[in-house]
Structure 1
Amino acid sequence: MDRKARVAGVGLEPFATPSKSRSYDEIGEGAIVSALADAGVEFGDIEQIYAGYVYGDSTSGQNVAYRVGMTGVPVVNVNNNCSTGSSALWLARQSVESGAAECVLAVGFEQMQRGALTAKWDDRPTPFDRFMAVAREAAPAADNVPMAAQLFGGAGAAYAQRYDIAAETYARIAVKARQHAAHNPYAVFREPLTVAEVLASPHIFGPLTRLQCCPPTCGAAAAVVCSPEFARRRGIPAVVEIAAQAMTTDRPSSFDTADLMKLVGYDMTVAAAQQVYEAAGVGPDEIPVVELHDCFTTNELLSYEALGLTPEGTAEKFVADGQNTFGGRVVTNPSGGLLSKGHPLGATGLAQCAELTWQLRGQAGNRQVPGATLALQHNLGLGGACVVSLYRKVD
């Protein structure tokens, strides 16, 4: 029996800077209502809810869900750092495919504060002590630089040294992100950029300048996931299936080689992507559109190779030849990505899901990738967890 989970409906609240956003419960409610309407189901049809967020009190997921209705169904709160939204989707898919439920909701939301991400507890070890110890061993410490920028900037510097690439290569990724975001009403930053403007913005760490770092934003996204039988029974045209999905966590290679590229999840991405390609019976050369985790321009470039979109050591040519955009081999982040939308941690993975669902339905407007029937999603959280999902359009 076909139990591959279908994405029946998606909802997305426009992302906003912290000073302009509504509260997390309001935007979370909005995303859920939109996803239900898109799927053509009622809140009472939902049997389980997986709610993802990073910064918030316990049971914030219930607080969001209760604004829509109190039906007594289980609500599971999920926190997996930057891959939280995709982790909620991973759980929802498993529930449907196992037969535990027929119609499940995954919702992600985040009410971010201004400024770089920081640890919220100073009276206990952080999950990132191990990461920073390796980073300090590999490169000089920078006390005034945010942790994530040190890690991903250091990884970008290591790649640039290994393959002798120019700083302009990373800057071109930021320029491409804004070109795509110009057509996305959900993106926060849609103004065009030039390579010169990107490079002239304040230096952060390694090859990174400010315009190569995703900003903190607030937002919410949701997806209704159901079984094919539920969709048929209810007459829902759920044409997008989750063909394969994998979540990986760190192995010793992340820490035992002082390799900053591996420290920021390169090997996790490779492993998750390989599992997905094998399970779906497709290769990376068959993928026309990808939403990948561009928290920094450096990570987008590393992810091209980790996902197999271009061979190791060839990412600079891949970028220079325009193979990462419309008219090239694979359109990466047609939404504008995290660099243009910002990164509301709990919402990011489900916002990626929404974009790719629209792409496969042919509903992406001026950012539509023509004829796309396969779409790949990559969502990475340091600490760590990487979720790679492959969506397929079905009849």
Structure 2
Amino acid sequence: MSEKVLVGGVGMIPFSKPGASPSYTDMGADAVRRALADAGIGYELVQQAYVGYVYGDSTCGQTALYEVGMTGIPVVNVNNNCSTGSTALYMARQAVALGDADCVLALGFEQMQAGALKSHWDDRPPTRARFQPVVQQLTGDVEGLPNALRSFGGAGREHMQKYGTKMEAFAAIRAKASRHASNNPLALFKNVVSTEDVMNDKVMWPGVMTRLMACPPTCGAAAALIVSERFAKKHNLRTDVQILAQAMTTDPVESFDPPSMIAYVGGYMARAAAKKVYEQAGVGPEDIKVCELHDCFAHNELLTYEALGSCPTGEAEKFIMDGDNTYGGKVVTNPSGGLLSKGHPLGATGLAQCYELTNQLRGTADKRQVEGAKLALQHNLGLGGACVVTLYGKN
């Protein structure tokens, strides 16, 4: 990256249940206003905008932004499944790094419906239709489950079968998420649950998953202002959080051949993106003290520990049981509560992660603060597929 890229301001609204939120126009505009207020600048200084959402009509991005201002700037709408928010961030960072703009807005929002994720189109092939035989081959003994649960549950089961991982490891992840979320005023679920509570919850897949191990559909919005160093200095913005490295990957052949559910749900994408980021920044996973990763299911959090190099392959259960994924351990993972407790409004998730890590590096995360954090890692995954890994540094 030729230009130093900074996070000049961040904004996020509290996440809420479907049916209980404002409209996406109000949520998006609110998040933008909060980011502008955090940066201390007006909307007229924003030169470009990238707006992410999954469920919405064309130009919803403009519709939300017009509530803030109508300045004629380029607005690009982004849809990359669950990695939509970080894809908008990726594009905003590129624009600044390449010198095309000095102040770029990345916004993500989602006004979701209750229930499992589903396609709203039934007259055309679904995404990944070509690779559905992999899922059928490896999870054909289970029918009637939503696709996401079947995919990530199948990946978790594969880890259990391959490495002897116990279901309690996934339950411990969910319990940890609840403890973290209890200190996050913007999280949806703040009630603390124990490992036993999670194990005793409604069974979704016998021996593999209970209901609490899956993140809920939620509504929300988050935004970030990505700026050049010269812009920040000119307008007296904060300069303490820098994007040091970033990578986006899509599926290689190995995601589907040889058949593996761990690979199918993004294992190869995550490993490749993390490797690129570490190489760009000249650091290793041992240097990371705080991380926000894509825990759409507790199973994926466990798998992602290994993909990001937080622990060796096959040793994630030990990593969890030793407390290395929380305060006092090696990497404080999802101090926000993650998707499991904070919620997962698809288009907003990646930028909500940016919000959390920016506050961690600023030292403004209150009770969630990870002491001495100088590097912060973000992992955001969307099946279909795309994975974005971002490394922030204290400037």
Displacement after TM superposition at 1:234 (Å): 1.2
Task: Quote the residue 1:275 is aligned against.
Answer: 276
Supply the distance in 1 between the matched residues of 2:343 and 2:129 (Cα, whole angstroms): 26
- Runs of 4+ in structure 1 displaced over 6 angstroms? none
Unaligned 5+ runs, structure 1: none
Q: How does 1:173-212 map to 2 (within 5 A)?
A: 173-205=173-205, 207-212=208-213
Q: Post-superposition shift, 1:321?
A: 0.3
2:300 aligned with 1:299:
yes
**Shift of residue 258 of structure 1?**
1.1
Contact 2:277-2:391 at 8 Å conserved across structures: yes
- TM-score for the superposition, normalised by structure 2: 0.98
More displaced stretch, 326-335 vs 123-132: 123-132
Is the CA contact (8 Å cut-off) linking 1:28 and 1:220 kept in structure 2?
yes
Partner secondary structure for residue 28 of structure 1? helix
Matched residue type, 2:183: H
Query: After the TM superposition, which of the residue ranges 232-241 and 138-147 deviates more from structure 2?
Result: 138-147
Question: Are 1:41 and 2:41 an aligned pair?
Answer: yes
Match of 1:114 in 2: 114
How many residue pairs are counted as aligned between the two chains?
Answer: 394
**What RMSD over aligned residues (CA atoms) do the two structures have, in Å?**
1.0
Q: Please, what TM-score do these two structures have when normalized by structure 1? A: 0.98
Map residues 201-350 of structure 1 onto 2, 5 A cutoff. 201-205=201-205, 207-350=208-351
Deviation at 1:233, TM superposition (A): 1.2
1:182 partner amino acid: S
Matched, 1:100 2:85: no
Q: Compared with structure 1, are the counterparts of its residues 342 and 130 closer, same or farther at alpha carbon in structure 2 (3 Å cutoff)?
A: farther
1:285 Cα deviation (Å)? 0.2
1:11 aligns with 2:3: no
Question: Residues of 1 paired with 2:360 and 2:228: CA distance?
Answer: 21
> Alignment partner of 1:29: what SS?
helix
> Contact 1:2–1:228 at 8 Å: present in 2 too?
no
Do the aligned partners of 2:325 and 2:333 also contact (CA within 8 Å) in 1? yes
- TM superposition shift of 1:203: 1.6
Q: Work out the CA distance in 1 between the residues paired with 2:325 and 2:307.
A: 14
Report the counterpart of residue 147 of structure 1 in structure 2. 147
Q: CA deviation at 1:2?
A: 6.0
CA distance, structure 1, for counterparts of residue 131 and residue 145 of structure 2: 15
Post-superposition CA distance 1:167-224 (Å, at most 9, x none): 1011000000000000000101110111121111122236111000000000000000
The alpha carbon displacement at 1:114 in A equals 0.2
Give the Cα–Cα distance (whole angstroms) in 2 for the partners of residues 86 and 165 of structure 1. Answer: 30
2-structure distance, mates of 1:335, 1:131: 34
Aligned letter for 1:365?
A: D
Letter of the 2:24 partner, please give it: Y
**C-alpha distance in structure 1 between counterparts of 2:85 and 2:165, whole Å:** 33
Give the Cα separation in 2 of the matches to 1:142 and 1:4: 50
Return the alpha-carbon distance in structure 1 between the equivalents of residues 236 and 200 of structure 2: 54
Identical amino acids, percent of aligned pairs: 58
C-alpha distance in 2 between matches for 1:26 and 1:128: 33
Letter in 1 for 2:237: I
Give unmatched runs, 5+ long, in structure 2.
Answer: none
Question: Aligned runs of 1:370-381 on 2, under 5 Å?
Answer: 370-381=371-382
Report how far residue 133 of structure 1 moved.
1.9
Cα distance in structure 2, aligned partners of 1:59 and 1:141: 42
Structure-2 separation of matches of 1:348 and 1:237 = 23
- Secondary structure of 1:348's aligned partner: helix
Matched, 1:52 2:52: yes
Q: 2:298 & 2:121 partners in 1: Cα distance?
A: 29
**Residue in structure 2 matched with residue 61 of structure 1 by the alignment:** 61
Contact in 1 for aligned 2:2/2:98 (Cα 8 Å): no
**Within 5 Å, which residues of 2 pair with 1:15-26?**
15-26=15-26
Three-state SS of the structure 2 residue aligned to 1:14 is: coil
How many Å separate the matches in 2 of 1:247 and 1:216? 25
1:112 aligns to what SS in structure 2?
A: coil
**Kept in 2: contact 1:51–1:75 (CA 8 A):** yes
